[in-house]
Structure 1
Amino acid sequence: MKKKYRQTSRNTNYSAYLHPRWWPTWLGIGLMWLVAQLPIRFQWWLGKIAGLATWKLAKSRRHITETNIRLCFPEYNDKQRAALVRNSFIANGIGLMEIGIAWFRNASKLKSITDVHGLEHFNTALEKGRGILLIGGHYSTLDLGGAMATEYIDADVMQRDHNNPLMNAVMTRSRAKRYGKVLAAKDLRGLLRSLKDNHAVWYATDQDYGRKDIVFAPFFGVPAGTITATSRIAERSKCVVMPFSHFRREDKPGYDIYFHPPLEGFPSGDDLQDATRINAVIEQEIRKAPDQYLWMHRRFKTRPNRDDPGFYDKKR
């Protein structure tokens, strides 16, 4: 039976996790650390193997991925969709290896193989003194892309805490070394304080968080439950809203980080219009490297009508 943990608060003191019940987690963390010390090409190879194994064995996740890609890429034929599903698992397997680099290695060592695009947009926006909400997405380079970005900018980050308290402690401590603040996903007050202090905050809106405070905006042409909090945050803080993305190069080890021009006229006063605009921006970035997105997430879990059949029902 899978062990479940109840996360009541963040305890990042490692001395709290010396009991033998934490030893399996420590073993896994130790393995992550060891892999992170390997040459990056070898890590990519290990990630490919891990991704292919997951593609073969994780049938439920593969079904979710196949469903998402079928919905989002109707122009693809069956062969193209199958290839994208497979490549997506490979890309996310590599991303799993890169978490170790982000947590346990000095990201500055990767600057020689990283190109940053549009940094002038960030610097100009920061001069306005209103804070910057960096609109990101769940790309497979999630942790490493963020860690690399902090080599060029100062930023805070919002995170959804890990269910395993020890893993969460390691994740939080590692991110705290790179980001100014590590804010809990629901810490709206902390987010607004950071923006008021003219900080940049990494913020992702591209997952299905349920039916509360959402509108159904198109995402790859499919109505997707999209949170309206982005508009509320921008309205209250008067911050700059800036799209931000990061991708792994396909041909050789290397990374690209993109800071895009701020969204003008945001928020508009129309939640649906704002959500549609945000989704369009994220979709545009995903199309740069479709396999490097987290398609394993049930993005269309919440349907516009409660009685609508679920997309992820295998009997569909």
Structure 2
Amino acid sequence: MGIKKTGKNKYRFRLLLLHPRNWLTWISLGLFFIITLLPLSLIDALSFRLGKLAASKNKKRFNIAVKNLALCFPKKTTQKIELMAMQHFQMQLRSVFHYFILWWRPVPVVQDIIIKIGFEKIEKYRQQEKNIIILLVHSVGLEFAGAAIAFDYDTVAPYKKMRNPVINWMVANSRLRFSKSYNGKHGGKLFTREDGLRPLIREARAGKILVYLADEDLGEKHSIFAPFYGVQKATLPVLGRLAKLCDAVVLPCVSCYDSTSKKYQVKLLPAIQGLPSGNDETDSLKMNEAIESAVNQCPVQYFWTLRYFQTRPEGEKSVYE
């Protein structure tokens, strides 16, 4: 099932999704749907307990989180780093449960658990006739950030197709269910990596808000090294070029879950100044510094189980050995 075309019909339910090979997925989704009917306080308590179990059962990912945190926060003690890694697993699992709320619960329910902070910046720059790129960071609640933006604005974003066709359908629809072209009110679109950057640039120049993630390590090809928390990281030097081609300002964005209010605080931070600079190294440094500032809003909620430092400069050993 392709994702290249972005009209409503491309995302409609298809009988092929009910094939017997997908039944186990549907049963699992049904169980998760029941969980979404529980109070958030109960969901959070459940994820707290299961998060500890997940960390103990997945030592490989836990150790990756510990290594990342130790590299980025070298002044913290080993005990504190391991505590942060454990808390991260709990928050990651909690957000997985919350994602099913995003998928299935009515739009007003989703809106009620999101607080938007700093969104007046969008109107400020639109009044200056600037296009907008939102630099989203890989926090565990990043899908809620996408929803918060789509509530009020036409958006365009890259999309990584899922292997499981049912999950692929669910995720694509969850990212479009708040957007205009899908429900008749707004105009959201998704494009795969295979589509390249041109469709994203075209839609951003036409006025849609481009939601962009750029903090993963995608390998040495096409990347340059730039500091991230003082550690050299393979960074795609694309954001500055996008800002230039789209005539856009770049607003970093992070989604932080507040366990007291039981709400996701989606924060738009100040625009990255001096971007584009015309220099890939400078632009990559500015981007990584902006991502750091976003991560610091809720450090343990960053996706620390990803291999952000997998690619190393020539002569350096893997940090994950």
Q: TM-score by structure 2 length? A: 0.89
Say if 1:107 and 1:72 are closer, same or farther in 2 by CA, change over 3 A: farther
Q: Which amino acid aligns with 1:263?
A: I
Q: 1:269 aligns with which of 263, 278, 296?
A: 278
Q: How far is the alpha carbon of 1:178 from its aligned partner?
A: 1.7
1:107–1:224 distance in 2 versus 1, CA, 3 Å: farther
> Residues of 2 paired with 1:62 and 1:112: CA distance?
32
Counterpart of 1:86? 86
Partner of 2:161, secondary structure, is coil
Q: Report the equivalent of 1:221.
A: 230
Cα distance in structure 2, aligned partners of 1:79 and 1:197: 50
Contact 2:272-2:290 within 8 A present in 1 as well:
no
**Pairing 1:16-35 to 2, within 5 Å after superposition:** 16-35=16-35
The aligned amino acid for 1:155 is T
1:253 to 242, 258, 262: 262
Shift of residue 89 of structure 1?
Answer: 0.5
Task: Give the match's secondary structure for 1:46.
Answer: helix
Letter paired with 2:49: I
Letter in 1 for 2:189: K
Q: CA RMSD in A?
A: 1.9
Which one is further off, 144-153 or 196-205?
A: 144-153
Could you tell me which amino acid in structure 1 is paired with residue 320 of structure 2? Answer: Y
Change (3 A) 1:62 1:24: same
Hey, what's the Cα distance between the residues in 2 that align with 1:210 and 1:263?
Answer: 25
Q: How far apart are 1:8 and its partner, in Å?
A: 6.5
* Aligned partners of 2:204 and 2:246 also within 8 Å: yes
Asked whether 1:311 is paired with 2:305, we answer no
In structure 2, the residue matched to 1:182 is: 190
Could you report, residue by residue, the CA deviation over 1:35-87 in whole angstroms, capped at 9, with x for unpaired residues?
22221112212222332121110011011111111111100011111110110
Task: Report if the CA contact (8 A) 1:286-1:293 is conserved.
Answer: yes
The alpha carbon displacement at 1:292 in A equals: 0.4
How far apart are the structure 1 equivalents of 2:299 and 2:194?
A: 29
Find out whether 1:59 has 2:59 as its counterpart. yes
Task: Report deviation, 1:9.
Answer: 5.7
In the alignment, residue 219 of structure 2 is paired with which amino acid? G
Change (3 A) 1:217 1:107: farther
Q: Which moved more, 1:256-265 or 1:88-97?
A: 256-265
CA separation of 1:106/1:125 partners in 2, compared to 1, >3 Å: closer, same or farther?
Answer: farther
Which residue identity lines up with residue 211 of structure 1 in the other structure? E
The SS at the match of 2:260 is coil
Q: Does 1:43 align with 2:52?
A: no
In structure 1, give the amino acid aligned to 2:65: T
Separation of aligned partners in 1, 2:114 and 2:165: 32
Q: Quote how far apart the aligned CAs of 1:257 are.
A: 1.6
Q: How far off its partner does 1:165 sit?
A: 2.0
Residue in structure 2 matched with residue 192 of structure 1 by the alignment: 201
Give the 3-state SS of the residue equivalent to 1:67 in structure 2. helix
Determine if contact 2:137/2:254 at 8 Å carries over to the other structure: yes
**TM-score, normalised with respect to structure 1:** 0.90
Kept after mapping to 1: 8 A contact 2:156/2:204: no
1:101–1:144: 8 Å Cα contact kept in structure 2? no
The 8 Å contact of residues 95 and 142 in structure 1, kept in 2 or not, is answered as no
Look up the equivalent residue of 1:51 and give its one-letter code.
Answer: G
Distance in 2 (alpha carbons) for counterparts of 1:53 and 1:259: 34
Q: Contact 1:219–1:283 at 8 Å: present in 2 too? A: yes
- Residues 9 and 259 of structure 1: is their aligned pair in 2 closer, same or farther, counting only changes over 3 Å? closer
Do 1:205 and 1:227's aligned partners in 2 also have CA atoms closer than 8 Å? yes
Asked if residue 207 in structure 1 is aligned to residue 220 in structure 2, the reply is: no
* Runs of at least 5 residues in structure 1 that lack an aligned partner in the other structure: 1-6
What is the deviation of 1:270? 1.1
Q: Deviations for 1:284-313, whole angstroms, at most 9, x for unmatched residues?
A: 1211211101000000001111x4211111
Shift of 1:112: 4.4
Partner of 1:100: 100
The question of whether the paired residues in 1 share the 8 Å contact of 2:145 and 2:266 is answered with yes
Equivalent runs, 1:104-183 vs 2, <5 Å: 104-179=104-179, 180-183=188-191
SS in 1 for 2:266: strand
| Alignment coverage as a number of residue pairs | 306
For residues 41 and 153 of structure 1, do their structure 2 counterparts lie closer, same or farther at Cα, with a shift above 3 Å needed?
Answer: farther
| C-alpha distance in structure 1 between counterparts of 2:219 and 2:44, whole Å | 34
Displacement of 1:107 after TM fit? 4.1
Amino acid at match of 2:210: V
State percent identity of aligned pairs.
27
* In structure 2, C-alpha distance between the alignment counterparts of 1:50 and 1:125, rounded to whole Å: 43
Q: Which moved more, 1:37-46 or 1:290-299?
A: 37-46
